[in-house]
Amino acid sequence: MKIELKALKYSDFASQETHCFHANIYIDGKKAGWAENNGHGGMTNIQPRGLYETIRQYTDKIPPRIVDFNGTQLTLETSPDSLIDEFVTLALHERDLKRAMKSRILFTRENQVFETKKLTAAELAASLDNAHLKEKLKADQVLNLLPMGEALNLYAKGMQ
Q: What is the pLDDT of residues 80-137, one digit of tens each?
A: 999 999 999 999 999 999 999 999 999 999 989 999 999 999 999 999 999 999 999 9
**26 and 32 in contact (C-beta within 8 Å)?**
yes
Q: Report helix, strand or coil for 110.
A: coil
Mean pLDDT of 44-69: 94
Average pLDDT across the chain, whole number: 94
Mean pLDDT of 21-34: 98
CA–CA separation, 16 vs 23, rounded Å?
18
Please, which pLDDT band fits residue 160 given cuts at 50, 70 and 90? low
What is the distance, to the nearest Å, from the Cα of residue 130 to the centroid of all Cα atoms in its chain? 29
What is the distance, to the nearest Å, from the Cα of residue 82 to the centroid of all Cα atoms in its chain? 13
- pLDDT for 22: 98
- pLDDT for 111: 87
- pLDDT for 70: 86
Mean pLDDT of 63-74: 89
